[in-house]
Structure 1
Amino acid sequence: MSDTIDVGIDLGTTNSAVAVAAGGRVTVVKNNDNADTTPSAVWLPRADTVYVGQRARKRAETDPDNTATEFKQLMGYEGTAMRFVRAEVELNPEQLSAEVLKSLRHNVASALGEPPDAAVITVPAAFALNQRNATLRAAELAGLGSACPLVQEPVAAAFAFGLREQAGRGRWLVFDFGGGTFDAAVLYRDDEELQVLHHAGDRSLGGKLIDWALVDRVLAPAVAQELGLKDFTRSVRRWRGNFARLKAAAEQAKIDLSQNESAELIIELVVDGQEETFEVTLPREALDVVAEPFYVRAIELARSALTEADLQTEHLDRVLLVGGTTLAPGLRERLADPVIGLGAPLDFSADPTTVVAYGAALFASTVRRPRRAAPALRPGGFALEMTHEPTVTVTDPVVAGRVHGDPAGSWTKYAVELSNPDARPPFRSARIALNAKGAFTCEVDIDARQTSRFRVALFDGTGTECALEPGTFTITHRFGPEFEGIRLADSLGVQHADGGFSVVVRKGVTLPALGHRTFKTSGALRRTELDAVLRIPVAEGERSRGERNRLVGMLEVRSADITVDLPMGSDVEVTFEIDVSGMVSVVADVPAVDIQTDAVINLDGVAPPTPPQLREQLREIEQRLYLLRNSAHLAPQAQQLLLTFDRQGTLTTAHEQVAASDASPDAAVAAEDRLRDAHAELDDVADALAVPELVRDLDERLGYVEMRVHQIGTERDRHRLTDLRARAEDAIETRNSKALRKQLDEASEYHVDLVRRSPDFPVVLFHSLEDALRSTPEAASLLREGGRIIAAGEHWQLTLINHRLLLLLPPNLRDPAIGIL
């Protein structure tokens, strides 16, 4: 067994795979059916029997009450357990995924002689924290330990493509369209490094949505018409078995249509206890029509990843195809088109169904195995701790280690000798004296593209060999560039009381990462209010409106934790720490009361939305869309955004998922994602309609800045003003609402800075507060006192008055810089 994990698992929505790295090579492990992939399906015909894989998938059509499929996206959601009627048991999605992982682990044991006790497991880049956490729980339930590293699926694919000898140099895009999720990753490779530049993805965009769209829009209506079934929809439970058959037929049709121009479907359905045969010929064009909105969305996400990496499609050297959906000719034709697609050469040299597992195993070969508890030393025995890199790209690495135990005298009387008799040529070091702490370093020779196993012998001052455990270590040579690290897929930050969102750790940083930012409380916390809690929502996403991002946790400061009252506007210092698997811990420090609190990130309490909640959100979106369509003629950019909204079929897909949510929690999760996306896309339309107002506001704000610069500005301020105006003019010329907002925010912040530097700042702030609080009774006496101070010319006394007035402001009027908008 090597010192690295070496096992990589692609835990997929529809199919899963496992691969093992050994001796410089990667092998995809076949299952008991001699197949490279195992369907992610579980069948319990009775309480003591569990089937996983192809046999279980077939039972989804004939025994849906005792079979579970497509449960990956439901991991981490409470209330989504599947009841197996005949076995009279319930299994939640983590337990079902654990059964799939157990099956893959058994396949490795059959191939290698022993089951792995750890593995690198892939997850979609867009997976939420609760889903990542549930994946780790599933791994532990499957016997893979609690420390399995998680790696993003497109990163694993990048490993598989990028570390091949013939890969060459260039900028590539991993286009990973799997059964349940979509990920795009832009990467760069040269002779020295392999670097993932940016991600974009959708955890609810996958081939299964195309399958269901084919069922809902083509097959089910045809069945209902031919057989005269008025209530033949997915939401009616008695048709569950028939819809499972239609879904399986749609999957098979996609496979057939990847090779043929049409597919002949013969489906046996059960109606009122009688078998009915439904036959239909499905042309490839019918599939392409149904699938087009999903293809468009995936391509738009890929373009977004390129934009975030400051690249255009013409900068791409190739597009690497990953996932079963990329086998569709219609998608490949669209991708290759320079106008509606990406226009770069398509690379499908790797098997799209196993390349993620292959890359995960490659990555696993670079990850040290989890450290185990040191065994109890035998009397007179010693323990070896190696701290070298387990995988290297040179053939003469330096290794380091330390010996632990009870030496006879000083460690400096001891020495170690390293050897590898199986090397070509055999390697043996000189005897290396330990330092005073029992440590040593040594340069060794290793075989290219192989795993080298070294024996370490320990000798005391008399030259006698001592018992040493473990007495060996391994080091693997890997050809190719160095990997620059996994990047954060979604920004993490804090949601404001007024609905805004501030990023603490930005998307794209290399993991592990640490972020820190100071916020101000929007309310007071008093010791006398015994059950009072100050809550600060933690969210992940890229939208400036907090509600459009995913809530992942809550920072809580309780009245019981404080020794003095905490006034509104107190500083809260928030620190985010993210490990290489993307798991997050958050700590809040409140200097005013000298306390520190961890975020209460309850990853076990996330539940799918209810169908009534989803229907209400859908109605709200339809109303917004109606109003925006009526105004879109006022802004060409708004019209273009609505066209993209329609082409991506966001609303149509949302309707289908909301309708299916009555019978499927999986559809409810997908519907929630689509509705959140729809709101965010309509936010962009509203922003585009706001361009004229944004231009006016920006011009006005720049006028204020220019006036202040003329009054008190330095030469540096004049240069900054020139630069600010140039960038503002670019934003105005492009009519880009996001760019305009960015420049308006920058101009406003600069104006605040200039105002604060101004000698009359206390007076300006007082008059602003006077306007805001004129009708507030609690402020009356403070406003009279402030007026008296100004009349007397004693402006320095305004500081305390202003501070007390700021505490009376409602949260939506507060500004982080000066306390008022």
Structure 2
Amino acid sequence: MDNMINIGIDLGTTNSAIARFADGKVQVLNNPADPGSNTLPSVVAFREDAIITGRKAKELLEKDAKSVVGAFKRKMGTSESYWINSISNFKTPVELSTYILRELRSFMPPGISVDAAVITIPASFDTIQSNATKEAGSQAGFAQVTLLQEPVAASLAYANMHKEQELAEGNWLVYDLGGGTFDIALVRIKDGEMKVLDHEGDNFLGGTDFDNLIVEKILIPAISAKYSFNNLETQMKSASGKYNAQYYILLQKAEEAKILLSSKSSVEVVIDGMTDENNAPVDFEVTVTRAAFNELITPQIDATIGMVKNILSRNKLQAKDILFTLMVGGSTYIPFVRQRTEELLQIPINCEIDPVTAVAAGAAHYAATRPKLTGNINVSKSSSRLSIKTTYAKTSKEKEELFLAKITGDTTHCSYRITRADGGFDTGLKQLTERISEYLPLVENTFNYFQLTVHDRESNTVEMHSEMIGINSAFGISGQPLPEDICLEVDDEEKPGETKLLLIFQKNSILPSRKSVTRTLNKSIQEGSEDKIRINVLEGPHYALPEANKSLGYLEISARQIFRDIAKGSDIELTFSISESRDLTVTAYLNMADQEFKQTFTPKERHTTVSALKLDVDTLARKLENEIFDTAEQENHEVRKELSVIKKEMDVLETETKDLVDDDVTDKRYQLEDKKRKLAQAIDNATRDKHIAVLRNKYFKMKGWCLEILDQHGSENERTRFYNATSDEASFMYSQSSVRLKEQTEVLRSIMGSIIWRTPICLKDLFRHLVDKSPGMSNQGEAQVLISGGRIAIEARDWSRLAEINQDLLDLLPKSVRQDVIGKVGF
């Protein structure tokens, strides 16, 4: 199985691990630099002449804290970097992750190829964070990196640990609380197939936050109470603060205390190595009790349970519908986490798998089903040239699995044979044709290897260089779910100059996926001009404002790139393709120019400044206040009450944001940005019914007007369009999609507009307006002739002639005057 990836890596916030699939089994590899351990602390230390990773790097923290970095996974995909004192330079989260991945590669036995790997990411990682992870893998020397969501990996580890027994069909939860992130996933086994139905998470909630709470709420107050300091917490958290180095040392001590509290009722934390403002040396012990620690982390644990309840509610499930909650991630070792989760959810917890190495093990199971990418090497010994393309399930719980192959080349006088490695199956020699179809019998609970050989007329083996066929008689996964909606920004016809979102791929769609849409250009593009079409793809809820979502990238088509003028109203065909590792490719085809433009979006950084965050929070707070006033005026007490609860959270967010210093070194800005996004969503959810009621009212008004004008002036074609637009009214009228309501209202507006355009009253009104504008027309002689003709047409009630004259007069106006609404996108 050398042609499969076979290597799985858990690139964790606190600890990382690597596992290998070999001989039908998964082996989590030991750390050669730390005997007895099969994990690598995700910490990197720098000296002038060396880069040190893992446990030895952590040991250097107290000597030179500003040259040691950990928990950088939480800043993957951001523009932030870390200043390293010992080398007087910055290092990015991608570079730091690269060092960890390189060290993990050294765990492999000599002679084993490590050119490809499956690397896990939190399910809630967005596309930019995912791309940053792939970039780290590439810099670490992996020619091929496939990403796998951590809850999926944990599910595979658990299911394949039990592959020798039938797992009960039903639903379970994967509760993954690691060092820096939290994921909850709903998994279902049905008909022997495992599928992730839904998930939710928080990229800034984990054991690192628990460490920080110990520092913020216990250690810093204890130091400040005993010694003389001026605003110690700010001085620690600011990059330029006097005690910034001590902050990282305290975090490590807090982590050690947290780990000990899983087995002890209290621990003593020694605080030393610093002096206060009066030059008094700080040297004392702080007692941290398990009870105090549990109280500190209760809001965070309750927040994770809130996410679990959201998933159950979304999927209309109750506690009795869930078999168990599978506990994964180092922070689930904390007794209180297990106790609180089981107590509040009333669902049994399952702690059967190693929470620290399960994700790496599951990644290795997945890696055994993923082929390495290779070039065209399928060449025969004889003068004929053959190549093969195979299709089959890499994992299966069936008794036999269908194998399909397509052969390209001259198959005359050739035969083929498929044998199972254990000798238990042999097709015998069969005539080779362009297509092979065979059912391969599987031995249960093991990896089944089959070899396909091709022979020429002299019975010589033709070297197809085809892969060994490997089918694991175990549980696989039916694809990874998409964490967020992927949308396209389009012009909003209802609001000139503004845009809205068009849903392309919906959250929880199974990857990979592909979709095509056709849009009509709302402006002309003149060859060689400054005109352009902008294709902006965003990640986030499709019902949100475009500015509220995360941009994945732009594909701009400039008029300088096209070979001819493109008329308004012509079509642009857009095809979106997204891989299982979230590589997003957009192809745009301009029909009129017969030109295609293509781009793959792989953004790896997102900029989040404290000043921009403060402005966004301030804007959102004002919006919330306006919504509260509106609901009060409308006496909508239920929504007002809901918004009042959100207002309390908003007040806390405003305070926390205002307290941030510009050079804050913690993850606080990213946590607050996440809170801001969730509050915006909560405001939208609370007020959606109000806004949808307004949109429904607009729809019914437009429908009434359309019916009225249809009766008087509508054609048969327009009646058919009206019927088609309203036939599915029940489905969109009572949905929660404002986008769908707007689109259907716009369809009716378009039908009505096309009718009104040719009604006598509209044609006469437009003619009068054009007469008023005639002094600004480019050809005064022609304009006067047309105006005379228009007056004659009105007297003769020749409305079709008047419509022609109106169009000719429009063409004489300057472009700036006659230009229809031009959106910023172009379609």
Report the TM range for the smaller structure's normalisation.
Answer: 0.7 to 0.9
Cα-to-partner distance string for 1:760-805 (whole Å, 9 max, x where unaligned) = 564499589979x999969998999999977835158648958969
Matched with 2:609 is 610
Task: Output the amino acid matched with 2:374.
Answer: R
Aligned-partner SS, 1:140: helix
| Distance change (3 Å), C-alpha of 1:681 and 1:402 | closer
Report deviation, 1:578.
0.6
Q: Output one character per residue of 1:679-703: Cα deviation in whole Å (capped at 9) or x when no partner.
A: 3434445546657756755664565
Residue 154 of structure 2 corresponds to 157
2:405 and 2:730 map into 1 onto residues whose CA distance is 59
- Is this contact kept in 2: 1:396–1:444, CA < 8 A? yes
Residue pairs, 1:450-529, within 5 angstroms: 450-454=446-450, 460-463=456-459, 465-466=460-461, 468=463, 470=465, 473-480=468-475, 483-497=477-491, 498-521=498-521, 525-527=525-527, 529=529
Partners of 1:296 and 1:800 lie apart in 2 by: 70
For 1:201 and 1:252, the matched residues in 2 are separated by: 26
Distance 1:661 1:382 in 2: 64
What is the rounded CA distance, in whole Å, between the counterparts of 1:799 and 1:287 in structure 2?
Answer: 80
Q: Paired residue for 1:583?
A: 583
Unaligned runs of 5+ in 1: 732-737, 817-821
- What TM-score do you get using the length of structure 1 for normalisation? 0.81
The offset of 1:252, in angstroms, is: 3.2
Equivalence for 2:819: 808
Once the two structures are TM-superposed, the CA of residue 244 in structure 1 deviates from its matched residue by: 0.8
Task: Give the 3 Å change call, closer, same or farther, for CA 370–594 of structure 1 in structure 2.
Answer: closer
- 2: CA distance between counterparts of 1:601 and 1:767? 47
Distance change >3 Å, CA 714–CA 556, structure 1 → 2: closer
Contact kept, 8 Å, 1:7 with 1:18, in 2: the verdict is: yes
* Unpaired runs of at least 5, structure 2: 492-497, 778-782, 812-816
Deviations 1:56-113 (A, max 9, x none): 23433442222121222433444x3434332455543222212211222222336xx6
Q: 1:626 to 1:252 in 2, by over 3 A?
A: farther
Alpha-carbon distance in structure 1 between the residues aligned to 2:771 and 2:627: 36
Q: What do residues 476-502 of structure 1 show as CA deviations (whole Å, max 9, x unaligned)?
A: 33234x532222222212223514211
* Alignment of structure 1 residues 333-732 onto 2, 5 Å: 333-336=339-342, 341-371=344-374, 374=377, 387=390, 389=392, 390-394=394-398, 396-397=400-401, 399=403, 412-419=412-419, 423=422, 426-427=423-424, 429=426, 431-435=428-432, 447-454=443-450, 460-463=456-459, 465-466=460-461, 468=463, 470=465, 473-480=468-475, 483-497=477-491, 498-521=498-521, 525-527=525-527, 529=529, 531-542=530-541, 543-566=543-566, 571-599=571-599, 601=601, 603=603, 606-628=605-627, 634-639=635-640, 641-642=642-643, 645=646, 651-652=652-653, 655=656, 659=660, 662-664=663-665, 666-685=667-686, 687=688, 693=694, 697=698, 700=701, 704=705, 724=729
Cα shift readout 1:538-579 (whole Å, capped 9, x = no counterpart): 111114311111011012011211244446665433221111
Cα drift, residue 15 of structure 1: 1.7
Deviation at 1:623, TM superposition (A): 3.9
**Could you say what secondary structure the match of 1:490 adopts?**
coil
Q: 2:533 & 2:593 partners in 1: Cα distance?
A: 13
The CA distance in 1 between the partners of 2:255 and 2:414, in whole Å, is 66
Which residue number in structure 1 is paired with residue 799 of structure 2? 794
Look up the equivalent residue of 1:41 and give its one-letter code: V
How far off is 1:150 after superposition?
1.0
* AA aligned opposite 1:156: A
Against the structure 1 CA distance between its residues 778 and 566, is the aligned structure 2 distance closer, same or farther, given a 3 Å change threshold?
Answer: farther
Q: CA deviation at 1:333?
A: 4.7
Distance 1:486 1:788 in 2: 68
> Deviations for 1:687-722, whole angstroms, at most 9, x for unmatched residues?
466577567556645655776799889899899979
Distance 1:593 1:42 in 2: 53
Q: Is the 8 A contact 1:179 1:206 kept in 2?
A: yes
Q: Tell me the distance in 2 between the aligned counterparts of 1:58 and 1:278.
A: 21
Contact 2:78 2:608 in 1 (8 A): no
State the shift of 1:7 in Å: 1.9
Contact 1:296 1:647 in 2 (8 A): no
Q: In structure 2, how many angstroms separate the alpha carbons of the residues matched to 1:640 and 1:109?
A: 62
CA distance in 2, matches of 1:774, 1:310: 59
AA matched with 1:114: I
Aligned length: 786
Structure 1 equivalent of residue 67 of structure 2: 66
In 2, the alpha carbon distance for the partners of 1:334 and 1:777 equals 74
What is the RMSD computed on CA atoms of the aligned residues? 4.5
Aligned to 2:327: 321
Aligned to 1:50, the other structure's residue is in SS state strand
**1:44 matched to which residue of 2?**
46
Output one character per residue of 1:174-223: Cα deviation in whole Å (capped at 9) or x when no partner. 23232222323222212332122223333333332343344334433443
Question: For residue 101 of structure 1, what is the amino acid of its counterpart?
Answer: L
Structure 1 residues 395 and 453: alpha-carbon distance in aligned structure 2, compared to 1, 3 A threshold: same
Q: 1:811 to 1:93 in 2, by over 3 A?
A: same
More deviation, 561-570/687-696: 687-696
1:105 paired to 2:105 = yes
CA distance in 2, matches of 1:237, 1:580: 43
Contact 1:514 1:576 in 2 (8 A): yes
Alpha-carbon distance change, 375 to 512 in structure 1, aligned in 2, over 3 angstroms:
closer
Pair 1:571–1:30, CA change in 2 (3 A):
same
The SS at the match of 1:42 is strand
Deviations 1:273-306, CA, capped at 9 Å, x for gaps: 8752353333445445543443444344434444
C-alpha distance in 2 between matches for 1:787 and 1:658: 70
The 8 Å contact of residues 425 and 441 in structure 2, kept in 1 or not, is answered as no
TM-score, L = length of structure 2: 0.81
Identify if the C-alpha distance between structure 1 residues 188 and 70 changes in structure 2 by more than 3 Å, giving closer, same or farther: same
Given that residues 267 and 279 in structure 1 are in contact (C-alpha distance below 8 angstroms), is that contact kept between their aligned partners in structure 2? yes
Aligned partner of residue 552 in structure 1, secondary structure: strand
Structure-1 separation of matches of 2:792 and 2:324: 72
Of 761-770 and 173-182, the range deviating more from structure 2: 761-770
Which residue pairs with 2:126 in the alignment?
128
Name the structure 2 match of 1:85: 85
Q: Which residue of 1 aligns with 2:495?
A: none
Q: Pick closer, same or farther for the CA change 1:323–1:436 going to 2, 3 Å.
A: closer
Q: Specify the alignment match of 1:282 in structure 2.
A: 288
Residue aligned with 1:247, SS: helix
Equivalent in 269, 272, 278 of residue 268 of structure 1:
272
CA shift for structure 1 position 366 = 1.8
Question: For the Cα contact (< 8 Å) 2:379–2:385, is it kept in 1?
Answer: no
Secondary structure of 1:86's counterpart equals helix
**1:30 is aligned to 2:24:** no
Distance 1:374 1:229, change over 3 A: same
Distance 1:545 1:520, change over 3 A: farther
Q: 1:25 to 1:632 in 2, by over 3 A?
A: farther
In structure 2, do the counterparts of structure 1 residues 768 and 35 end up closer, same or farther at CA, with 3 Å as the change threshold? farther
SS at match of 2:359: helix
Q: 1:128 to 1:718 in 2, by over 3 A?
A: closer
CA contact (8 A) 1:496 1:546 kept: no
Q: Residues 695 and 742 of structure 2 are in contact (CA less than 8 Å); yes or no, is this contact kept in structure 1?
A: no
Q: Distance in 1 between matches of 2:678 and 2:284?
A: 37
Secondary structure at 2:603 match in 1: coil
Q: Given residue 353 of structure 1, which amino acid in structure 2 is its aligned partner? A: V
- 1:316 aligned partner, one-letter code: I
Mapped partners of 1:749, 1:318: distance in 2 = 47
Identify if the C-alpha distance between structure 1 residues 215 and 573 changes in structure 2 by more than 3 Å, giving closer, same or farther: farther
Contact 1:21 1:365 in 2 (8 A): yes
Structure 1 residue 658: deviation in Å? 7.3
> Displacement, 1:332?
4.1
Q: Percent identity?
A: 24
Preserved CA contact (<8 Å) 1:73 1:131: no
Query: Whole-Å Cα distance in 1 between the matches of residues 664 and 350 of structure 2?
Result: 39
